[in-house]
Structure 1
Amino acid sequence: MLSFNEMPGLTIGATVPNLEVETTNETIKLHDYFNNGWTIIFSHPFDFTLVCTTELGKMAAYLPEFEKRGVKLLGFSCDEYSHARSESKTLKPTQ
């Protein structure tokens, strides 16, 4: 698995590399997760920060609408996996 410092830079329209990443649920290969469909990739610097929590809550609130359209969400953080897992358990959808 690549470390954060080894991650390639991405720009709009770039092809996302087929990285193997550890999620809060399982380890996945990105291209398998995308599965030739639409995926919104977003990132945030640190878990449990005010903006991070509200933005992730908003994405969670709209998840049913994304799912109806066949769109997957994938969020990245610089924090350790165990820290992100803790936040995922406390995150509540916001209106």
Structure 2
Amino acid sequence: MPFGNNTKNQWGSKEILYDAVITQKAMADAYDTSAAESITPNLRNEFLGLMKDEQEILFELYTEMQKRSWLPVQMADQAQVTSARQKYQPANP
């Protein structure tokens, strides 16, 4: 599957990183589901540990993509932060 301007079906660094992100997300989702459906604490903890490992790998991939300007990051202004905080803050009893 070609990405961007790559029409020769040859993947460069950008395509490889994007593919790695997709793969790691799928693995993290699978471990999350497996942890939720585990019937023993030991098995659940194993899946949670594996999921944490996948999340760390994803963080590293996203960090590398951002360094290469392949993942634009838009900083939220204070009004957006305040709005989101109010929207998701639990109601006080």
- Give the TM-score normalised by the residue count of structure 2: 0.28
- Give the TM-score normalised by the residue count of structure 1: 0.28
Larger Rg: 2
Which protein has the bigger strand share?
A: 1
